[in-house]
Chain A
Amino acid sequence: MSVQPISNTNLQQLKQQNPEIFSRQGRYLRTLGMITVAIVLYYVFFFLVFGISWPQFANGCQQISRYFMRMFVWHDFANWPFGYYFQQIFITLAIVFAGTITATLLALPLSFLAARNVMSSPVLRPIATLVRRLLDILRGIDMAIWGLIFVRAVGMGPLAGVLAIVMQDIGLLGKLYAEGHEAVDKSPSRGLTAVGANGLQKHRYGIFTQSFPTFLALSLYQIESNTRSAAVLGFVGAGGIGLVYAENMRLWNWDVVMFITLILVVIVMLMDKISAILRNKYIVGEEIPLYPKNH
């Protein structure tokens, strides 16, 4: 059975019979065209307001290509202070672990205070709203800004970095955990109430048992994502590999910059792998053999 090619008159007839189907294509194209025009106009506006002159742009491109050339030619590779680089990378990882684990511990109780199904009575409702606003504020300020503030408040060094991660992650994780708590099934809580559990027991066994996989997944993901973003902390003096980045960029050592980026790529890939394995093992879970009935 082969498909007959539609003849021209046939097509005309079809178009007359189903005008709404054929007009959809036109409408779609018009919408697409309007979106394209809007985007183009927006970019024209953007470059008119913030743009730079043409010679400056050309000069910049030349510079950038020079930097890239230098990135791929590694001078004097044998004499680089590898010990120092790896020590700084190690410090970055330590900052990430210390910061994220602390944030997890602090965000967990806060998330219960922010979850609407835990704070369900009218007296407790305002507390939930208040905690939510607090989390919004913590989340709204970027990690590097927290780093800047902490460097000013507690001095330079990894401690400022850890505190910056803690601050930002409490905001992020607290909100996401709270959403996890809110998404649970209500029936276990009701059952527990029926057998006489008190409030705390209800939350521990009725809600947290169900939201634990979400909790674990989010924490793992956050460690991963922080490994990626913690490099900025060093730029503001809050410890870690960012310092090496900033130093070597100022010294024009683009080869070192490239080297460190490659190391970071490898580390991030490793973290991806480890967290995927952990996720598979503990969130998807492994089969526990059921007690064989026929014994």
Chain B
Amino acid sequence: MNTDFAHYYQRIRCKQKRETLLWSLGLVALYLGAGNIAEFNLHTVWVSIPHFFDYLAETIPVLHWPLLFADGHTEGSFAYWGYRLHIQLPLIWETLQLALAATILSVLVAGGLAFLAANNTHSPATLRFAIRTLVAFLRTMPELAWAVMFVMAFGIGAIPGFMALALHTIGSLTKLFYESIETASNKPVRGLAACGATPLQRMRFGLWPQVKPIFLSYSFMRLEINFRQSTILGLVGAGGIGQELMTNIKLDRYDQVSMTLLLIIVVVSMLDYASGELRKRVVEGKA
């Protein structure tokens, strides 16, 4: 018995070791290969990382302790550092509005599309397939590509950014939504069908109450993501803070780079916190 068990143990152990070794070797090979193609190796990192830190050091603004609260013309004061705030703050506001408007619109549209695309709502198979293909296309085309396209068509401004963000968000939310509808239990639906409910009533009273908290939770998550995304739309002229950031980086206005990044980080963390609280209240609390 003892030797038997030892044999068994050895066999399992060997198998596990073999698999671990195979996977580790495969992963290392993949990593080295990828690093090789992407010009990413210890030498280049070693050479270039100091440049990065130099750059970061450059962006640290000059602040003098005694002059911190002096007026905007004294070098070393907060006011001097933030001399472009009157341009940057409205841009941050615009970015927030972009993210919010795009999220609300796409939640509404994606909610509708998801019910049509789910395979347990009795929508026609061709329609399902068409919607799934469409949203796969919408979410795989990068936001910036959409933004470039809309900027070319509608001109520079916030509206192209709004459209680009909304299209991309519809693409990704619809997928999350229809997957959550498909995992919902079909017992309430069958019960309603037995009572003679129409397909619309079945969806409204059988599926919707089950998926509503999931929908809301995904929507809040998406709002956070969209704010982060909307900060880059400006890179191609589609509105928001990105434009300002890009000009600052390209024109080497170092102190303004740090100011803009600081603004973005502050707003992102505020939004993260607020949406986390809201999600907790809406998803777990009353809904």
Chain A residues with CB under 8 Å of chain B are: 39, 42-43, 46, 49-52, 56-57, 59-61, 63-64, 67, 90-91, 93-99, 101-102, 136-137, 140-142, 144-145, 148-150, 152-155, 157-159, 161-163, 228-229, 231-232, 235-236, 239, 242, 245-246, 249, 257, 261, 264-265, 268-269, 288, 291, 295
Contact = CB atoms under 8 A, between A and B. Distances in A.
A173 to B, nearest CB: 16
Interface residues on B, range: 35 or more
A60 B44 contact: no
Given A42-B104, A91-B37, A158-B37, A265 B140 contact: yes
B217 to A, nearest CB: 16
Interface of B is mostly: helix
Contacts of B98: 50
B200 interface: no
Contacts, number: 185
Interface of B: 1, 4-5, 8-9, 12, 27, 30-31, 33-40, 44-45, 48, 51-52, 54-55, 94, 97-98, 100-101, 104-105, 108, 136-137, 139-145, 148-150, 152-155, 157-159, 162, 228-229, 231-232, 235-236, 239, 242, 245-246, 249-250, 257, 261, 264-265, 268-269, 272
Q: Which of B27, B228, B250 has the most CB of A within 10 A?
A: B228
Contacts of A93: 34
Contact of B152 (A63, A90, A99, A145): A63
A67 B48 contact: no
- For the complex of A and B, the 8 pairs showing the least CB-CB separation, nearest first, are A97-B34, A94-B37, A60-B154, A63-B153, A154-B48, A140-B268, A50-B158, A153-B55
Contacts of A163: 45, 48, 52
Contacts of B232: 142, 144-145, 232
Nearest to A93: B34
Nearest to B141: A261
22 contacts: A42-B104, A56-B154, A60-B154, A63-B153, A64-B150, A90-B37, A97-B31, A98-B31, A140-B264, A141-B261, A142-B232, A144-B235, A145-B242, A148-B246, A153-B52, A158-B37, A159-B40, A161-B38, A235-B144, A245-B144, A291-B9, A295-B4
